[in-house]
Amino acid sequence: MILAAGLGTRLRPLTDATPKALIDVGGVCMLERVARRLIDAGADRLIVNVHHHAEQIERFIADRDGFGVEVAVSREAEAPLETGGGLLHAAPLIRRDAPFFLHNVDIITGVALTEVYAAHQEAAAAAAPSGVAGGGVLATLAVHERETRRFLLFDDRGLCGWENLPAGGRPGARVDARPAHGPVRPLAFAGIHVIEPALLDLLTERGAFTIITAYVRLAGAGHIIQGHDVTGRTWLEIGDPDRLERARAWAGTQTRENG
């Protein structure tokens, strides 16, 4: 599933007439970049959630013949539902036969998606017979070390909380899902998840909510949300005009190097 329903307010005026997902980065829009990477990693079906200029995204997908795979669109008609609400809203469209990717549309990365998926499968298989309360690994999150004020906290058993550092006159905050087991490591989220379908039935939150809220609650209940460290891999988040220009410059170097 590709999260593409955001308003892209920090990219205005570009997003006044164009959805963020269709903004060009080096000759290819964000949506197509992410879709092609997921397909290259083995996805044979995509779900794209939409809200802002939804018709443009739907038309783009149709013009591209679904990038060669089946594509379902999850419309959030009244307002964007954020990561968690968007996932829950799309739950009826999600197949339940295997773990699935959840991927932000505004991420360009050199992270090998097959590596993250394999790490999840390996951890889930190892945890399944362990008798951990809540039963095994529900999700694997790509995380890394980078400059930010927002961190997820991980210990020897996986996600154990989150922390926001103070910045710009705003106070910091921290939530501990449970007592830590061993050293706690703060890591930034990279916008890529691998999720077990069973998690969908455990979402008690409603309306618009971030999936991190659910992850922390579930970690506190004994479920495992693990991190997969991708520190050092190319990672670009296209959240504002400066970051967009950096991403376009990076894409230009890749084009020159590849031909």
The pLDDT of residue 135 is 52
Q: What percent of the chain has pLDDT over 70?
A: 95
Say yes or no to pLDDT of 134 above 70. no
The pLDDT of residue 128 is 65
Burial letters 222-233, b for 16+ CB under 10 A, else e: ebbbbbbebeee
- The more confident residue out of 151 and 248 is 151
Q: Cα separations (Å) of 198 from 43, 98, 118, 205, 206? A: 19, 10, 18, 15, 17
**Band of residue 87 on the pLDDT scale cut at 50, 70, 90:** very high
* Least confident among 54-63, 100-109, 232-241: 232-241
- Taking residues 58-85, report their average pLDDT: 95
Residue pLDDT, tens place only, 34-52: 999 999 999 999 999 999 8
Residue pLDDT, tens place only, 99-132: 999 999 999 998 999 999 999 999 888 876 544 4
CATH class, 1-105 region: alpha beta
Residue pLDDT, tens place only, 209-226: 999 999 999 999 999 999
- Among residues 102, 136, 129, 117, which one has the least CA distance to residue 224? 136
- Taking residues 49-77, report their average pLDDT: 95
The pLDDT of residue 259 is 46
Q: What is the mean pLDDT of the chain?
A: 91
> Could you say which DSSP state residue 133 is in?
T
Q: What percent of the chain has pLDDT over 90?
A: 75
Place of tokens 């050199």: 110
Reported pTM: 0.90
The pLDDT of residue 255 is 52
- Specify the domain boundaries for CATH 3.90.550.10 within the chain: 1-105
**Who's near 188: CB < 8 A, 6+ residues apart?**
143, 144, 145, 146, 148, 150, 151, 152
- The more confident residue out of 133 and 245 is 245
Say yes or no to pLDDT of 94 above 90. yes
Residue pLDDT, tens place only, 143-171: 999 989 999 999 999 999 999 998 777 78
The pLDDT of residue 172 is 86
The pLDDT of residue 129 is 54
